[in-house]
């Protein structure tokens, strides 16, 4: 019999294979200093475009004070136990009702992590006769949630309504044949890689034609889209049609935790059946109080969202003027599409970091098809005009070098952290 670990040592996986040269630089880099638009990387000051700190709350003095005061008052232990057993508090319930009101729903449930929360929601509400219809570019937490689903699932091509209808017809036919079960449609408010919004309004409009419930992961839309910041559903005028609205606190709220909002009876069912919360310790009090503070700021400081958008639009306009392809984004998420191999991409990123002091994330094969490179930039309310200008110049110069073949190297540059 083989040792179960044997294969792990032979094949480190598609990304792990680059570990020897990449660790601590291209993968697992360590950004240091106060969170903001400029941080230190390997001792050098860099303009940072990799953090989902959309509203700049991560290091806002009021947020830092609320977090510190709550930690001093409660420590990290409180409350002990799962919510259902011994870990419930007035503050947890207050945060839930304030979140529900903020996204125009009757009730909400807190989750310790969005990733587990989505998986566990799917597990709690879908039985073996139910069918899930979902967008092909759904986040990993949705895909992993589908693995827990014992029934059928149909995937529709990303944001393709024709294919969506085709899959809905298949799902409907199956349910009619089974004579039991229902349909859950899952999509996202904003697709975090390309920055395009999910077609929520169009999907919602098909509710009369097909029978289904709609679950939307709005991790990137919450706090950044819509008149009041309630997200992609509000921006598209269809928040009512979203039966279950989800967001993490990890992005615009710059914190930890997540929530799911919807009708009271359904949220109550989930509260009593969501295994990731029932069998896990309650969200610590400093996070609950810190999240209450952040939510108050989302409600009362619209200037943060305005600053985010003004920075995002300046960056996107500057890139387009310089001939960059930024795809279909209609949100602050800013992808920049280029062509080149994995080795070239890493050499370019190294030049950007070492010589231009710009820190951004790249996405390459196997996450996207071979020969393509995506820079993924996240503008925030904390960025300045100088950050944007320096970045535009750096991009223009490095793109010219890329096109001239200056980054053609044999292998990924060895930038691994030497211990």
Ligand X SMILES: Cc1ncc(COP(=O)(O)O)c(C=O)c1O
The residues that touch ligand X, with contacts defined as CB under 6 A, are 113-115, 139, 141, 188, 192, 217, 219, 248, 250, 258
Whichever of 182 and 327 has its CB closer to ligand X, that residue is: 327
Give DSSP secondary structure letters for 42-77: TTEEEEE-----TTS-TT-HHHHHHHHHHHHHHTTT
Least separation in angstroms between CB 121 and ligand X: 11
Q: What angle do CA 150, 249, 382 make, to 5 degrees?
A: 140
Whichever of 259 and 324 has its CB closer to ligand X, that residue is: 259
Residue with tokens 């930024």: 326
Residue in the shown chain whose Cβ atom is closest to ligand X:
114
Q: Hey, which residues does 301 pair with through a beta bridge?
A: none
Least separation in angstroms between CB 297 and ligand X: 19
Q: Any idea what DSSP says for residue 36?
A: S
Least separation in angstroms between CB 28 and ligand X: 17
Least separation in angstroms between CB 321 and ligand X: 29
Is residue 106 classed as helix, strand or coil in its secondary structure?
A: coil
Strand pairing report for 131-135 and 334-339: unpaired
Least separation in angstroms between CB 1 and ligand X: 36
Least separation in angstroms between CB 407 and ligand X: 29
Whichever of 250 and 278 has its CB closer to ligand X, that residue is: 250
Q: What angle do CA 157, 335, 372 make, to 5 degrees?
A: 75
Whichever of 114 and 262 has its CB closer to ligand X, that residue is: 114
Strand pairing report for 153-156 and 131-135: parallel
Sign of the alpha-carbon dihedral angle for 284, 230, 191, 174: positive
Least separation in angstroms between CB 339 and ligand X: 26
Helix residue spans in 15-160 (DSSP H): 19-22, 61-74, 90-102, 114-125, 140-147
Whichever of 51 and 266 has its CB closer to ligand X, that residue is: 51
Whichever of 192 and 341 has its CB closer to ligand X, that residue is: 192
Whichever of 189 and 413 has its CB closer to ligand X, that residue is: 189
**For the chain, what's the residue count?**
419
């Amino acid at each position: 019999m083989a040792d179960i670990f044997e294969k792990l040592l032979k094949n480190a996986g598609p990304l792990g294979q680059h570990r020897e040269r990449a660790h601590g630089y291209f993968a697992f880099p360590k950004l240091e200093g106060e969170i903001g638009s400029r941080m230190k990387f390997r001792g050098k000051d860099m303009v940072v475009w990799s953090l989902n700190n959309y509203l700049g709350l991560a290091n806002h003095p009021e947020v830092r004070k609320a977090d510190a005061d709550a930690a001093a008052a409660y420590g990290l232990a409180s409350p002990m136990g799962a919510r259902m057993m011994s870990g419930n508090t007035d503050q947890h319930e207050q945060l839930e009702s304030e979140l529900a009101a903020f996204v125009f729903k009757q009730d909400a449930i807190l989750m310790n992590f969005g990733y587990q929360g989505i998986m566990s929601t799917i597990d709690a509400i879908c039985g073996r006769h139910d069918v899930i219809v979902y967008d092909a570019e759904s986040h990993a937490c949705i895909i992993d949630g589908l693995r827990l689903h014992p029934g059928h699932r149909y995937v529709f091509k990303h944001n393709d309504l024709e294919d969506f209808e085709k899959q809905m017809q298949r799902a409907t036919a199956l349910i009619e044949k089974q004579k039991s079960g229902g349909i859950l449609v899952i999509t996202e408010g904003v697709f975090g890689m390309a920055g395009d919004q999910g077609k929520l309004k169009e999907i919602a409009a098909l509710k009369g034609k097909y029978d289904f419930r709609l679950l939307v992961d709005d991790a990137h839309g919450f706090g950044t889209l819509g008149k009041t910041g309630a997200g992609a559903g509000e921006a598209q005028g269809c928040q009512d049609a979203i039966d279950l609205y989800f967001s993490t606190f990890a992005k615009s709220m710059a914190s930890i935790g997540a929530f799911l909002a919807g009708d009271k009876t359904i949220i109550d069912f989930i509260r009593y059946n969501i295994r990731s919360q029932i069998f896990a310790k309650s969200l610590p009090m400093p996070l609950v109080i810190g999240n209450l503070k952040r939510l108050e700021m989302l409600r009362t400081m619209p200037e943060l969202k305005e600053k985010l958008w003004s920075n995002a639009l300046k960056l996107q306009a500057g890139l387009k003027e310089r001939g960059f392809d930024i795809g279909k984004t209609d949100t602050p998420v800013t992808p920049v599409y280029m062509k080149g191999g994995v080795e070239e991409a890493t050499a370019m990123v190294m030049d950007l970091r070492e010589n231009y002091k710009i820190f951004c994330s790249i996405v390459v094969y196997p996450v996207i098809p071979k020969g393509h490179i995506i820079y993924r930039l996240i503008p925030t309310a904390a960025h300045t005009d100088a950050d944007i200008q320096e970045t535009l110049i750096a991009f223009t110069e490095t793109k010219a070098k890329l096109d001239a073949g200056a980054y053609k190297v044999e292998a990924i540059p060895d930038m691994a952290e030497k211990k």
